[in-house]
A and B are shown apart, each in its own frame.
Chain A
Amino acid sequence: MGSVLFNAFSFLQKKLKAQDIPCVNAVLDLKDGQRVKDILDDLGIAPQDIEGVFVNGKIAPFETPLHDGDRIAALPPGTPGPYRLLLGLVSSPGKKSDKKKDLTK
């Protein structure tokens, strides 16, 4: 048991706020063995609403196991900047869908 800090950004933040789902510096309970995808499932976030997830400041797979005190943030599609590639949101040209599969498998 423990907790994680959760944030959602841009369209996803707006969507979750409209549903009164905590998504700005929200402290969520963490059960033993929970992974990123379990937290997202618990919040009712659909996979197509997410392009990538930060775990402690780095883009990480959805299967990443979580620990007490971790910080996670969900990014919907549409995030610009030179860092789509540099942050790992996109692996290489034309392989965006492959990368997404890697993240969500």
Chain B
Amino acid sequence: MSKILRINTREKTYSFETPAEDIAGLGGRALTSKMILNEVPATSHPLSKYSKLIFAPGLLSGSPAANSGRLSVGGKSPLTGGIKESNSGGLVSQKLARLGIKALVLEDKPEDDRFSMVVIKKDRVEFLAADEYVGVCNSDMITKLWDRFGKRVATASIGVAGEQRLTSASIQFADPKGHPGRAAGRGGLGAVMGSKKIKAIVVDDKGTDRVPLHDPDAFKAANKKWVELLTSHPVSGQGLPAYGTAILVNVINEAGALPTKNFRTGRFENAQDISGETMAANIEKRSGVATEGCHPGCVIKCSQVYNDKDNNYLTSGFEYETIWAFGAHCLIKELDDIAMLDRLCDDLGLDTIETGVTMGIAMEGGIIPWGDGKAAIELLKKVGTGDPMGKIIGNGAAFTGQALGIDRVPVVKRQALPAYDPRAVKAVGVTYATTPMGADHTAGYGVCQNILGVGGSIDPLKKDNNVAISKTLQIATAAIDAAGLCLFVAFPVLDNPEGLQMIVDMINARYGLSLVVDDVTTLGISILRDELEFNRRAGFTPKDDRLPDMFKEPFAPHNTTWDFTDEELAEAVKF
């Protein structure tokens, strides 16, 4: 049976334990959220010794199931003050699973300022001094760790933002090529890791056996159908591999939902310049890599390597939300400048959505001009230098807005809104307002109406049905996160009535269970209940489930407003 690995960061000791009955069947987000609820006092400071940081592979991670290598990282967010699950690709999830580790828990905190790193191997866990790595950026960190431990190891590391415990700090993971392009970005969990003085975690699964399958034949049959489903669907089989998530720039702009100049209008006149189509053309011209997976076993491969004009590596995992945050939101139209900002975030260890939105707030406050990509790059470089402006920027949009005396700050629970305007796509607005995570598009990403039977056509510009849709998406997404699956599996699952059954079949064959499709719904609801309960204990009330006043303004081109009542939003948190 898989174990819980607890690491005491003050004593530099570790222990393995058998999971208690109430968490034995959980994985991924279901496990991190349950453990945070059970073990972290909700009113404790996220950077204190009472706080914990938990890494949990999903239920299918480590198995041959396609697209099952996602990792959940959970904790109390220093950005929002609420519970947080931040989800990432990379190599850690599958290797932890192969080592039989169900969850890795960082506890307590050192009394001195010396950084360590944790190396997890088949037969032992080691603490090594990491003083020499303090201040090292994430890409150099991965290079050094791979030089030292071999290129087969998985890494999780923090940059200077995490070392300085800034509330936008991410945890970055090496992708299969050794780039720090994968991140547990949202919610500042890099600061929690920094507070525990852990610069990096290395996971080496050398010598381990394959993950045991209770019924290998049934698993193989279900996975075969699963792979066919993912590769034959036009979104997961064609659109995402060719253009990545940046394919959405033009689409969301056309829909009039691309927040531009700090959510003033829904169209950016230079959208084509920063589009997925332009990105793909540049990749082709500059000998980049058009399509690659964020973890072994991914068959969608929506990531890429984006080179500069001299054909040198610039960034990878160049996502729609990042391009929007530094692009349309800040009126920056040079895609190469945006790529450099993405690269800097990966290296400094910063969430690109939070930091991009923050850059727009800096423009709002007159620190740098709107649309000036070069000035944005120089401002971002101040993070980690000790410059007070860098400290302000690295603490996110709400903090920066406060520092600059700005009232136009697009946050919920102090977390910045992502790349879809809530007035033009109202269901996502309901999710922003009500998810326990703070404004987060991935909290309601999987469109799985068929799971829950919430039918009816949806008008994105009207309120009708959008609360129900948001709830459906939040439940489905929580369940997908628990399985360790990539959220993009939701597209083919939506279009195929057998899709969800395939997931259930794989989980059953892996563990010898008899789950049915309805159990997925039950699991999703139980996760949300745990998360809402933690936030309630932390002091959140219904008034925290609101969008800022700026969204009462009409939003061009459709001139819609955010018009949900308090009673309607209250329905969205009844699970």
Contact = CB atoms under 8 A, between A and B. Distances in A.
A43 interface: no
A21 interface: no
Which range holds the interface residue count of chain B? 35 or more
A9 B277 contact: yes
A58 B235 CA distance: 20
Contacts, number: 126
B497 A82 contact: no
Interface in B255-294: 255-257, 266, 272, 276-277
B272 A78 contact: no
Interface stretch (B78-86, B138-146, B215-223, B454-462): B454-462
Interface in A1-41: 7, 9-11, 13-14, 24-25
B466 to A, nearest CB: 8
A9 B251 contact: yes
Interface centre among B240, B428, B491, B557 (most CB of A within 10 A): B491
A30 to B, nearest CB: 18
B428 A86 contact: yes
Nearest to A56: B557
B557 A85 contact: no
Contact of A87 (B240, B242, B460): B460
B458 A86 contact: yes
B428 A79 contact: no
Contacts of B234: 51, 77-78
Interface in A61-105: 73, 75, 77-88, 90-94, 96
Contacts of A92: 449, 455-457
Contacts of B242: 10-11, 78
B558 interface: yes
Interface string B537-575: 000000000000000000001100000000000000000
B25 interface: no
B347 to A, nearest CB: 28
B193 interface: no
Interface string B439-461: 00100110111100001111111
A10 B247 CA distance: 7
Given A57-B256, A85-B449, A93-B495, A78 B558 contact: no
A11 B449 contact: no
Contacts of A57: 254-256, 266, 557-558
Contacts of A11: 238-239, 242
A84 B495 CA distance: 11
Contact of B276 (A10, A51, A58): A10
Contact of A80 (B240, B420, B444): B240
A87 to B, nearest CB: 6
A83 B255 contact: yes
A82 B444 contact: yes
A86 B247 contact: no
Interface centre among A9, A84, A90 (most CB of B within 10 A): A9
A91 B457 CA distance: 6
A77 B238 CA distance: 9
A80 B420 CA distance: 14
Contacts of A94: 450, 495, 497
Contacts of A80: 235-236, 239-240, 245, 247-248, 488, 491
Given A82-B428, A83-B425, A9 B247 contact: yes
A71 to B, nearest CB: 8
Contacts of B320: 81
Contacts of B255: 54, 57-58, 83, 87
B322 to A, nearest CB: 15
B235 A84 contact: yes
B494 interface: yes
A10 B290 CA distance: 14
B226 interface: no
A67 B473 CA distance: 37
B243 interface: yes
A10 B243 contact: yes
A59 B488 CA distance: 22
B420 to A, nearest CB: 7
Nearest to B244: A80
Contacts of B236: 80
B558 A83 contact: no
A79 B277 CA distance: 12
Contacts of A82: 420, 425, 428, 441, 444-445, 447, 473
A81 B469 CA distance: 15
Contact of A79 (B251, B257, B461): B251
Interface string B185-226: 000000000000000000000000000000000000000000
A57 to B, nearest CB: 4
Contacts of A54: 254-255
Interface centre among B250, B276, B449 (most CB of A within 10 A): B250
B235 A78 contact: yes
18 contacts: A9-B251, A9-B277, A10-B243, A10-B247, A11-B242, A14-B277, A58-B255, A58-B461, A78-B240, A79-B235, A79-B247, A80-B240, A81-B320, A82-B428, A83-B252, A85-B458, A88-B460, A93-B494
Given A80-B240, A83-B248, 10 more contacts: A10-B243, A58-B255, A77-B235, A78-B242, A82-B428, A82-B444, A85-B494, A91-B457, A92-B449, A92-B456
